[in-house]
Amino acid sequence: MSERAADPREFEGYRRADGRVGVRNYVAVVPVSVTASAIAKAVADDAGTGVRALPHQMPLSPSDAARTQIESVLEGVGANPNVAAALYVALGTEDIAAADLADAVAETGKPVETLAIREAGGTEAAVGQGVDLAEKLAETARETRRETADTSELIVAMECGGSDATSGIAANPVVGDACDRIVEAGGTGLISETPEFIGAEHIMAERCVDDDVREKLLSRIERREQMADLMGVDFRGAQPSPGNQEGGLTTIEEKSLGAIAKGGTTPLRDVITYGNRLPVGGGFVVMDSPGYDVESVSGKVAGGAQIVVFTTGRGSTTGNPIAPVIKVTGNPKTFQRMHENMDVDASRVLDGESVRVVGETLYDRIHDVASGTLTAAERHGMAEFAINDLPANEVATLGDPT
Amino acid sequence: MKGETIDDAAIRMAAADNVVTALEDLPAGREFDVDGEMVTLAEPVEFGHKFALTSFEPGDTVWKYGEVIGTATEAIAAGEWVHTHNVVSTRGQPSTESGESAETDESTESGESAETDESAESDDAKRGDA
């Protein structure tokens, strides 16, 4: 890849007080637990454009290990530079304090508010107060204008869901090419979904910049396998999924070898824990995440990724509340059948177009989307969000992942 | 990563591969010229699915992307469809008992993961003819 000239180019983004640059300008309404999720959604619905809810299912009192992970994600989505201001909504009895999350996010210099449902006096009062707070925050957000930023300030997260044989042949190599371009321009590109490294560990291990990173990567993969075993799941047997198999994928090795192509070819510089802060200008990195695509995307967005590139052979419609998700398919039938949900047609590779040419098309699209062009998922209001839970018994046996 | 297309209807991802992927729904009887050798499809092969370029004995290694993707569980002739009915992972026994809950690592399967490490022994033989 070294023969490729770095191709830095610019986009128009929202520069935040901490220097990071957003590609969207949202007010995030973040529930601290499941008990506040419906109210967070009602607040966002009533407050109008630019206000996004991130409803989830996490309990009032998670286990200690799960709590750390949940806190990272809840804080991370508020801190993401696509978010201009955040409102944390709690019932008021959660183990995780809304005030602590707000304080942590306020360190980025953005306005943050909290709302306690019990203190407010119930549902209607809480929604009313929440809408007032969100509208005030949105007013502040509107004062921020897009300004010129550099590709090196982008963190782009690669993801796949609904894979078939075209994923590894066309879509993932195209995404890998764009990932290389982002990294060579000085930005950060990343993949996650640790279970989908099984059968391709040796290739990923070779890409690690040093022994520390290699050890970290291999231990995380092993831990995912052990956790599955403890949960009574032989996920090597459950992978590829029935849908993947129908699409022509025979074994986990075949799926993994295709999946890691999303990460391109540059050196692997670090392995980041699920939901933790990702480096700006960090090159190619991995986030240790489960294989479930919505949780994986949510973890990467919590880490600060501004844009998600999502390949799908069979056709996924998934989006995210605060980050644009660019859909890439290598399956010509899926591109035709689900045209309204797709952004980039990588099936041209199957007709003989080079991966590099389509990779450049995607790289251009990433910059367009960074500057404000809506993705298919955004146009259709697709906004899935889910936090990965940690099974307490298994964590007790295996120890904390960090 | 880029492959080499064969007669515009199949793609071989790496020179060492002994299976190729169909780029369209292929009928039985379709012939392919693979490096001067004719391979005739013994059965229909769907878009995205694989067929064998060479013959396999049980335990032979299946190569795609220039990497090991599994082990043949039965004899496979050149031109036959290669999939879960005649290939298993080298990492555990794929299970077909649960027909749902796709896409996540949380789909539950029964626990045991039979090791098939002995499958590695026939690698060299297969690699040689690729």
Q: Is the pLDDT of residue B129 over 70?
A: no
Task: Kindly indicate the confidence band of residue B104, based on its pLDDT and cuts at 50, 70 and 90.
Answer: very low
B89, B110, B113: which to substitute to probe chain A, counting the most A Cβ within 10 Å?
B89
Residues A27/A47, Cβ–Cβ less than 8 Å: yes
DSSP secondary structure code for residue B15 in this structure = T
How many CB atoms are closer than 10 A to CB A402? 10
What domains, with CATH codes, occur in chain B? 4-92+111-122 (2.30.130.110)
The residue of chain B nearest to residue A230, with distances taken between CA atoms, is B111
Check CB contact of A355 with chain B, cutoff 8 Å.
Answer: yes
Q: What's the confidence (pLDDT) of residue B93? A: 47
Q: List chain A residues with pLDDT less than 50.
A: 1-6
Helix spans in A185-331 (H): 201-207, 211-230, 235-238, 242-246, 252-259, 293-302
Say whether residue B5 is in contact with chain A using an 8 A CB cutoff.
Answer: yes
Whether A162 and chain B come into contact, CB under 8 Å, resolves to yes
pLDDT score of B125:
35
What whole-number distance in Å separates Cα of residue A161 and Cα of residue A166? 12
Of B49, B69, B102, the CB nearest to A243: B102
Query: What per-residue confidence (pLDDT) applies to A237?
Result: 58
pLDDT value of residue A226: 82
ipTM value > 0.90 = no
Confidence of residue B3 (pLDDT cuts 50, 70, 90): confident
Q: What per-residue confidence (pLDDT) applies to B105?
A: 39
pLDDT of residue A397: 74
Residue B64 · residue B126 · CB < 8 Å = no
Which residue from A233, A250, A293 is facing B108, i.e. has the nearest CB?
A233
* pTM of the complete model: 0.90
Q: Is A253 at the interface with chain B, CB within 8 A?
A: yes
Nearest by Cα to B62 from A201, A203, A206, A251: A251
pLDDT for the residue A402: 57
Instruction: Tell me the average pLDDT across B111-122.
Output: 38
Identify the pLDDT of residue A234.
60
Terminal CA-to-CA distance of chain A, rounded, Å? 33
* pLDDT tens digits for range A250-280: 999 999 999 999 999 999 999 999 999 999 9
Indicate whether B119 pLDDT > 50. no
Which 7-36 residues of chain A touch chain B by CB within 8 A? Answer: none
Look at residue B118 and tell me whether its pLDDT is greater than 50: no
Is there a contact between B113 and A241 if contact means CB atoms under 8 Å apart?
Answer: no
Region B48-60: what's the mean pLDDT?
97
Q: Tell whether A251 lies on the interface with B, counting CB pairs under 8 A.
A: yes
- Our CA-based measurement puts residue B29 at a distance from the nearest CA of chain A, in whole angstroms, of 20
B 30-69 → A contacts, CB under 8 A:
46-50, 62, 64-65, 67-69
Which residue, among A339, A167, A341, has the nearest Cα to A241 in the 3D structure? A167
Which distant-in-sequence residues (6+ apart) come within 8 Å of A347 by Cβ? A166, A170, A329, A330, A331, A332, A335
A229 at the B interface (CB within 8 A)? yes
Q: Does A290 touch chain B (CB under 8 A)?
A: yes
What token pair was written down for A47? 């407050």
Which pLDDT band, with edges at 50, 70 and 90, does B127 fall under? very low
pLDDT band at B92 (very low <50, low <70, confident <90, very high): low
* Rounded CA separation A47/A30 (Å): 14
Q: Is A257 on the interface with B (CB under 8 A)?
A: yes
C-alpha to C-alpha distances, A341 to A249, A346, A385, nearest whole angstrom: 23, 14, 18
pLDDT of B126: 35
- State the count of interchain CB pairs (< 8 A) between A and B: 154
Residue indicated by tokens 């050890």? A215
Residue with tokens 């509208």: A135
Q: Please tell me the predicted confidence (pLDDT) of residue A7.
A: 53
Closest CB to A251 among B88, B104, B113: B88
* Cα angle: A383, vertex A335, B48; to 5 degrees: 115
Residue to mutate among B6, B103, B117, with most A CBs inside 10 A, is B103
